[in-house]
Amino acid sequence: MRIRVLYFAAVRELVALDEESLDLPEEVTTVGAFYTYIAQKHPELAGRLAHVRVARNEVFATARESIAPGDVLALIPPVSGGA
């Protein structure tokens, strides 16, 4: 299944990509399985994904949510700031 992945902020810096299209292995059917897959594909993310949220089609997703062909998954790290 082909999906699009968007990388934001510190995650984008770690993988050196803004986005990419991926053909997921057939066993990667949920957001939770995607976390495992993307940590293997981009080892620089391993150990950091516990604090990264995934949005599926612009809505924050849970680990149990299914992924469908054509979905857009965004990896969004925590953001801090202030004035």
Report if residue 54 sits inside a domain. Answer: yes
Q: What is the mean pLDDT of each run of 10 residues along the chain (83 residues)?
A: 97 96 98 96 92 96 97 90 55
> Does the predicted model carry a pTM greater than 0.85?
yes
In this prediction, residue 47 carries a pLDDT of: 87
Tokens 């089609």 locate to 57
Task: Give the domain extent around 42.
Answer: 2-76
Q: How many domains does the chain have?
A: 1
Report if residue 81 sits inside a domain. Answer: no
Looking up residue 30, the CATH number of its domain turns out to be: 3.10.20.30
- E-assigned strands of 1-83? 2-7, 19-23, 53-56, 59-60, 72-76
Pair of tokens at residue 39? 């940590």
How open is the CA angle 3-18-13, to the nearest 5 degrees? 125
Check if the beta carbon of residue 54 is closer than 8 Å to that of residue 35.
yes
Report if residue 83 sits inside a domain. Answer: no
In this prediction, residue 31 carries a pLDDT of: 98
In this prediction, residue 79 carries a pLDDT of: 75
